[in-house]
Structure 1
Amino acid sequence: MKISIIGATGYAGAELLGILANHPEVEIGPITSESQTGTAIADVYPHLRGFYDKKLSSMTDISQFADSQAVFIALPHGHAMGIGKQLAEQGIKIIDLGADYRFRDESVYEQWYKVPHTHVKSGAVYGLTELYRDQIKGASIVGNAGCYTTASILALAPLAKNHLIDVKSIVVDAKSGVSGAGRSLNLGVHFAEMFDNLKAYNIGGHRHTPEIEQALSDVSGQEALINFTPHLIPMSRGILSTCYGNLNEGVTAEDVDQAFHDMYDQEYFIRLLGRGGYPAVKNTRGSNFCDLGWHIDPRTNRVIVVSAIDNLVKGAAGQAVQNFNVMFGFAENTGLAKIALYP
């Protein structure tokens, strides 16, 4: 089937092209870039040479997508809604890797992202596959989950679903490689600024906070309230999320173990390292896997869950393809059954 990519020259767009080159059910149609229109994609990303000889077009020519059955949108927030509305009117299915379709309540989006939501009543489904698979199957628009959020929600969902923790006690401490900041020039991610450095940012105000709260509220049936602190670390890709929650009265370590196994034992892309496990980002690099390990601290009555993903794969392009596979009835790991790069 024919698909297109809008915003193919960002890191997530390039990762999509790399994954879809090995997808047996896909033919790549138009790929777009507003900053590199007319340029061959292999001149922008030489690692794609020999796989793609396409030139980049502008997304403003909406007619070029008429033959596409699905379009991946990999644009910054605020830019997907306009083109998304036009595609939806043509009956084309959309997987948006940005934030524009992640929230059921558009006012929450507008509060955190500071732009008006212009494609309301879109019927979009939140694209965290392991939690929303049944809704994704029939969706016409999927708002792909964010990178920090994927790592954090997957770590906490079994605990929230089974009411093992107080969902208003959650603290998430997460660290990301610099590719999460995108490809645009930014002094804060220059080599001299980031090498041999580690820094927190957007404390108490990061835009992934309400996304995590929305999903945990869904699975628990209770309003979740979290403290989320992101950090930037000097590596190109990967996220390690360490999540803390106060255990409810009477909850045992065995209850925690059972919750994770009940929820994830049949999930291809979730690898449980078990109680006492220590996930590491190198073990998920370049793959669509999420590794989870958890620990019980009886002294503080807290559970600590550690989650590792590749932010550009399971946190972006890989999960987008996973959602695409679910939407169109392909095996969920089609094009994604890839072992992590090591070392």
Structure 2
Amino acid sequence: MFGNITDKIRLLFRKDKEPYLCFYRMTGFYPRNIDIYKQALLHKSSSIKNEKGRLLNNERLEFLGDAILDAVVADIVYKRFEKKREGFLTNTRSKIVQRETLNHIAVQIGLDKLVKFTTRQSSHNSYMGGNAFEALIGALYLDRGYRACKKFMEERIISQYLDIDKLSRKEVNFKSKLIEWSQKNKFQIAFNLVNQSLDDELNPIFNTQILVENVPAGTGKGYSKKESQQEAAHETLKKIKSDPQFIDAIFASKAEREKDTEPVYTEDSPSVMETNEVKTTVDVREELITERYDDTERIIAEAEEAAFKEEIQEKTSADSEEERI
């Protein structure tokens, strides 16, 4: 509290007050290092160079914010639901930090309108807001620390925009979302039960491993096969979003599988002679790179797009009813 008052006094002597006030209204804290907050608003399509020539955007802050947000929300959920098991806590945290929820929060606090991006990226606004929110958490952590992040989430976000009790009861089917994504993008996936064990109270624990194009993806455990599959599916969706090496591996494996099933043409084949569309290895590779870029840019937005639409609609309807009354 005292630090915030001191920063407010310092603000009186600054000429560029508006950016500081903007982030204060949003987070409840006056920025000490305003540059890191501005960086949180830079989408990679609008990267800038610093004095050393290094490109700056919000990707690194997004990476940091993702981890901090997981820890903060886990802390809040752990203390809120004292008698609940690990599986319940994991699912509740996942519902709060998933892309659709963060996108919704970014819109509610006006963060989506502040993100800087090029025109060609305008079609991806649906998830840039959520990414920027994670980057904002990363900036707040570096500027103010863990306690400020937790206070921000508790007082500015959860208390105002999320009904955490209702959210905890809402089912989010990550397995279904993963299957939808795989069917749309023509990937082969498999849910394998790796093993089954017992906990200290002799309750059965199931461990599931997901393979995408025979490439190991997410793993999960739970007190039922369904619970372990849900956790594994959620981990897989996170890898699809944030692990470039995993993306390269599944696309390469998919390309190899499809190559083995492609028809073989001869020089006399009418389809080749008439269309003259024989593709070189370079052509195929370029197409693969383009496909990978397009898919990774939209993957999570499509996979989790409908997860909380019902809740958002309910909240919007409730707000409209209150305004009408």
Q: Same fold (TM over 0.5)?
A: no
- Give the TM-score normalised by structure 1: 0.25
Q: Which structure would you say has the larger Rg?
A: 2
- Give the TM-score normalised by structure 2: 0.26
Instruction: Say which structure is richer in strand.
Output: 1
Instruction: Say which structure is richer in helix.
Output: 2
Q: Which has the higher contact order (CA 8 A, sep 6+)?
A: 1
